[in-house]
Amino acid sequence: MTTTIKPKPRERLLAAAEDLFYTEGVHIGVDRLCDVAQVSKRSMYQHFGSKDEVLVEMLKLRASHVMEGLDTAADAAPRDRILAVFDSLAAQAMTPQFHGCPFVNVATELKDRTHPAAVAALGYKLELNAFFEEQARLAGAGDPQALGVQLTMMFDGVSAYSVVRGEASPAARSAVEVLLAAQGI
Amino acid sequence: MTTTIKPKPRERLLAAAEDLFYTEGVHIGVDRLCDVAQVSKRSMYQHFGSKDEVLVEMLKLRASHVMEGLDTAADAAPRDRILAVFDSLAAQAMTPQFHGCPFVNVATELKDRTHPAAVAALGYKLELNAFFEEQARLAGAGDPQALGVQLTMMFDGVSAYSVVRGEASPAARSAVEVLLAAQGI
């Protein structure tokens, strides 16, 4: 016997938002969001002030999940932790469901860095950058700050490559290894 | 005395498309496009089959202009020609008008690689990749093919960085130099 416990409206809205904003873009309407979430508009506005609030909340949740995922390998060597991020990205980037980094996409589509969702996207990218920089520091990189930025750029470049081409390239990992080696890692 | 020669409807549509698709996104409507171009819808459909055709034609024109721009420095050293692309990108990326690579943006926003405009975006990226690969080959890179891909990724990563942060970083150029040095350039 299978028991299906239906998530509550708030959770359904966040789940629908995660899917729709990624697969259809940031400009989906409230009707579409409520339709997929199976939540009335009245109920949506009881839980969130606006569609943008759903978007921001979803991005913050997603960012915290991603960063928690990076924390699970805390006992691995810093260099391996950096490379694992890129290996995970490459695995995702090869799937048909991949449409790039959801945070960069939101910033790209909004074209307004003052928008609360663009600010949330920036917040995530700063966290990812800080993760790379911290691992670089722990590994003894010559310039952890620059390496953190370079790895963040490479991460987004690998994503864009797959968005445009629909495939991944082994040249990505070798580029990361080159950037690490140049810093003595 | 100033004489202003107003461009023809076709040119006005392409100019408006270049501006609007970049600053507002790929999902702008036909009304908005015709409004900014000061062209009637009837006239638009006389020149193009659809809004998507305007988009595709604009992307192809823009791609050919970018690639022609790269050709003007044909007498420079291959390594300098590669670095010049990144210096030019950094200069653009620091301006408030910068919203990323228009071709990546189109692919990101469409989320459909079979769309003719996504195919045009891919075409441009392949040309840019080929340019990098050719310069890498001329400069004597160990693996010009891999380096071409890596530089294309770095180009898009630098763009994404500025889209999200609204600023450029000198770590971009040093990353490119590291990637070149690793190939003996």
CA pair distance A149, A156, nearest whole angstrom: 11
Closest partner residue to A158 (CB to CB) among B109, B153, B159 is B153
CA pair distance A159, A165, nearest whole angstrom: 10
Give, as one character, the DSSP assignment of residue A50. Answer: S
pLDDT at B2: 59
Domains of chain A, CATH where assigned: 55-182 (1.10.357.10)
Enumerate the residues of chain A whose CB falls inside 8 A of the CB of residue B166.
113
Residue range A137-164, pLDDT digits in tens: 999 999 999 999 999 999 999 999 999 9
The band of A70, judged by pLDDT with boundaries at 50, 70 and 90, is confident
Residue range A80-93, pLDDT digits in tens: 999 999 999 999 99
Q: Which amino acid is at A6?
A: K
Instruction: Work out the widest C-alpha separation in chain B, in whole angstroms.
Output: 59
Residue range A90-101, pLDDT digits in tens: 999 999 999 999
pLDDT at A63: 97
Q: Is the pLDDT of residue A2 over 70?
A: no
Per DSSP, the three-state class of A167 is coil
Enumerate the residues of chain A whose CB falls inside 8 A of the CB of residue B178.
150, 178-179, 182
Mean pLDDT, chain B, as a whole number? Answer: 95
Q: What is the count of residue pairs from A and B with beta carbons less than 8 Å apart?
A: 144
Q: Is the pLDDT of residue A174 over 80?
A: yes
The band of A42, judged by pLDDT with boundaries at 50, 70 and 90, is very high
CA distances from residue B43 to B33, B46, B117 in whole angstroms, order as listed: 12, 5, 22
- The percent of residues in chain A predicted with pLDDT above 90, rounded, is 92
pLDDT at B75: 85
Inter-chain touch A175–B100, beta carbons under 8 Å? no
Enumerate the residues of chain A whose CB falls inside 8 A of the CB of residue B109.
25, 108-109
Mean pLDDT, chain A, as a whole number? Answer: 95
Residue range B128-179, pLDDT digits in tens: 999 999 999 999 999 999 999 999 999 999 999 999 999 999 999 999 999 9
pLDDT at B73: 75
Cα three-residue angle B58-B5-B67, rounded to 5 degrees = 30
pLDDT at A25: 97
pLDDT at A71: 78
CA distances from residue A145 to A8, A123, A136, A137 in whole angstroms, order as listed: 42, 17, 8, 8
pLDDT at A3: 63
Q: Is the pLDDT of residue A1 over 60?
A: no
Give, as one character, the DSSP assignment of residue B182. Answer: T
Residue range A13-22, pLDDT digits in tens: 999 999 999 9
Task: Kindly provide the ipTM of the predicted complex, given to two decimals.
Answer: 0.94
Q: Are B21 and B55 in contact (CB under 8 A)?
A: yes
Residue range B7-23, pLDDT digits in tens: 899 999 999 999 999 99
pLDDT at A74: 77
Q: Which of B106, B113, B80, B81 is CA-nearest to residue B159?
A: B106
